[in-house]
Structure 1
Amino acid sequence: MAELLSTAPEDIERAARALKEGKLVAFPTETVYGLGADATNTTALARVFEAKRRPTFDPLIVHIARSEELPSVADLSQLSAERRTLVTRLIEQFWPGPLTLILPKQPHVPDLATSALPTVAVRLPAHPVAQDLIRRTGLPVAAPSANPFGYLSPTRAEHVKEQLGNKVDFIIDGGRSDVGVESTVLDLSSEEVTILRPGGLARERIESLIGPVHQIDRTTKHPTAPGQLPSHYAPRAALSLYPAGGIPLQFPAQGERTACLFFSDASRAQWLASFQSANPGMEAPLCQVLSHSGSLIEAAANLFDLLHQLDALAVDRILAERVPDRDLGPAINDRLYKARGEAKGNH
């Protein structure tokens, strides 16, 4: 079982030594907890894929501690002068933070980290513990989310312990992740600047800096960045996704323990009034709310935490409504969409 570490300097130093020895260390970032390994060590990288049961065609994100370290993993000379200027503007504005850049890779970056693609995914996390750990390691650190492939991403150390406890050497407990959804992945390696995965940095903020960007279809079967597969981030319960206000008032399945997941207190109250009118005397199902005030920032931070709670309650089915499709809304809806699991035949 993984040993739990604190955020004290001596524990972070111990975790850094472990990474340099090829061990796996789960650590907090502002988005979700990452499963860290030395990005230059193919044996350590192989352990990541084994621990997560992750297919090797799904590339990893390489984390660095300072923007000055970017040229050590990305070959910016392959970009045009105009595109290099764009990279600089994005880094100055949004790093450290929940933005991953897809760039041409340096030849020494192992193919296992990039799924043999000519590009590498790079991020500079904002969490001080993550920065300190990577800096003490003195190496780029590959760190996908610290959960089994396809399952809910962890936003607390206990989530990591529950899902990967016997496959990780150390877990640094840094409290709950603030953002709560993975980073936005932006491809700068091809002709068209493209968001490959919506995430913790809203598209509107990127476009306010560099102008319109393309967004890839989320149903791709051939990922060029993490989190692109159509079924991902799934709880144990079957999840059905509905338009805002569209959760049904009757549940055909008998004997199932159902929970409803609403965006705000207002949407929950409106649905409960309709449910009680349509089903007089019937007990309403368990109802959870992503944000009491209707804040998309709060909803993103609470998403995986609430889904973990519903898993712990062993509900059979989750009926979730989409959130407004603005700011962090596309990232939340993307996670809910992929949590459905196409094999389940959900809405």
Structure 2
Amino acid sequence: MSTIFDCRDDSQLLAGMRHARQAIGRGELIVMPTDTVYGVAADAFSPTAVQRLLDAKGRGRDQPPPVLIGTKETLAALAESVPEPVERLIEAFWPGGLTIVLPAQPSLVWDLGETLGTVAVRMPEGRVALELLAETGPLAVSSANLTGQPAAISASDAEQMLGDSVAVYLADGLSKDGIASTIVDATSLVRRSADAEPGTVRILRDGAVTREQLQEVLGDLLEPEEPQDAEHVHAEEPQDADS
């Protein structure tokens, strides 16, 4: 039987965080609040736990979950490199609603699905999320809903869809705005050779951070607007938006 902890109550917060840590350690799933929508989370370094997350949502391995981190510095351990324009994005929008796709660190021992060698990373806002990530390390997190259903903006919304497939639900009221993160593809900024042409940043999904905000930071490095490419490994239909 799953348990919901109301993290607005300090006593329930302490108990909920303890149970959530223990569940992650056992390879189970939890639901957690983020600054965008509620997310269902698993240990990013446990292939069994990540598969459990995909199964709970009704997703295939061709839709790998993004990874949430608790500090900006953690990105350097997960990505092959962090180009200077990405550092600018991080300074401007983290913690916050921007997910950045980069080539993954080749030495990582994990299996998030068919990522094609990339990783989508975000540092969320919010006390509960950041305190949990500080204790668990990186978590694979997707929106807490069944594929094709609206993203959950409360823990009770998530429980109605995911039920006992999740061990612990951490509640923190309604999501701030219920808008999923913006996803950008910065993989082409990582040069494969010294004479390679500089790449651009492409918006894979519109969300909490607007194109205008990105333009202010990136200037000409932001790829001009065009119809969204729905086939990219980290993009998905808007009604099943990752957190």
Q: TM-score range by the shorter chain?
A: 0.7 to 0.9
One-letter code aligned to 1:168: V
Closer, same or farther: CA 150–216 of 1 in aligned 2, 3 Å: farther
Unaligned runs of 5+ residues in structure 1 are 235-334, 336-347
Does 2:34 align with 1:29? yes
Question: Matches of 2:110 and 2:62 in 1, distance apart?
Answer: 10
Residue of structure 2 equivalent to 1:55: 60
- Secondary structure of residue in 2 paired with 1:144: strand
State the shift of 1:216 in Å: 5.5
Out of 4, 8, 17, the residue aligned to residue 12 of structure 1 is 17
- Provide Cα deviations, 1:72-109, integer angstroms capped at 9, x if missing partner: 21111xx6xxxx11111111111000000001101244
Is residue 126 of structure 1 aligned with residue 141 of structure 2? Answer: no
1:113 aligned counterpart, secondary structure: coil
Deviation at residue 162 of structure 1 after TM alignment: 0.6
Is 1:90 the counterpart of 2:104 in the alignment?
Answer: no
Partner of 2:148: 150
Counterpart CA distance in 2 for 1:149 and 1:142 is 16
Q: Taking CA–CA contacts closer than 8 Å with sequence separation of 6 or more, which of the two structures ends up with the larger relative contact order? A: 2
- Could you list the per-position Cα deviations for residues 245-275 of structure 1 after superposition, in whole angstroms to 9, with x for gaps in the alignment? xxxxxxxxxxxxxxxxxxxxxxxxxxxxxxx
- Secondary structure at the residue paired with 1:165? helix
Q: Is the 8 A contact 1:57 1:223 kept in 2?
A: no
Partner of residue 227, structure 2: 217
Conserved? CA contact 2:19–2:168, under 8 Å: no
Partner amino acid for 1:223?
H
Provide the rounded CA distance (Å) in 1 between the counterparts of 2:229 and 2:68: 26
1:201 maps to 2:199: no
The answer on whether the counterparts of 1:5 and 1:172 sit within 8 Å (CA) in structure 2 is: yes
Instruction: Pick the aligned partner of 1:233 from 228, 232, 239.
Output: 239
Q: Which amino acid aligns with 1:143?
A: V
CA–CA distance in structure 1, aligned partners of residues 129 and 45 of structure 2: 18
Alpha-carbon distance in 2 for matches of 1:52, 1:140: 20
- Aligned CA RMSD, in angstroms, stands at 1.8
Could you tell me whether the CA contact under 8 Å between 1:100 and 1:184 is conserved in 2?
yes
CA distance in 2, matches of 1:4, 1:39: 22
Same amino acid, percent of matched pairs: 34
The one-letter code matched in structure 1 to 2:227 is D
Query: What is the SS of the residue equivalent to 1:166?
Result: helix
| Contact 1:59–1:114, Cα closer than 8 Å, also in 2 | yes
Deviation at 1:59, TM superposition (A): 2.1
Give me the whole-angstrom Cα distance separating, in 1, the residues matched to 2:163 and 2:113: 26
Dislocated runs of 4+, deviation >3 Å: 108-112
CA distance in 1, matches of 2:65, 2:210: 21
SS of equivalent to 2:164: coil
In the superposition, relative to structure 1, how do residues 152 and 40 fare at CA in structure 2: closer, same or farther (>3 Å)? Answer: same
* 1:86–1:210 Cα contact (<8 Å) kept: yes
Deviations 1:32-91 (A, max 9, x none): 001100000000001001100112101211000000111121111xx6xxxx11111111
2:195 aligned partner: none
Q: Deviations over 1:176-209 (max 9, x none)?
A: 1113111000111022210001111111111011
Q: Are positions 1:2 and 2:2 aligned together?
A: yes
**Which of 183, 186, 189 does residue 188 from structure 1 map onto?**
186
Structure 2 gap ranges (5+): 8-12, 189-198
Partners of 2:187 and 2:229 in 1: CA distance: 21
Q: Whole-Å Cα distance in 1 between the matches of residues 58 and 117 of structure 2? A: 23
d(CA) in 2 for partners of 1:87, 1:134: 22
Task: Give TM-score, length-normalised by structure 2.
Answer: 0.86
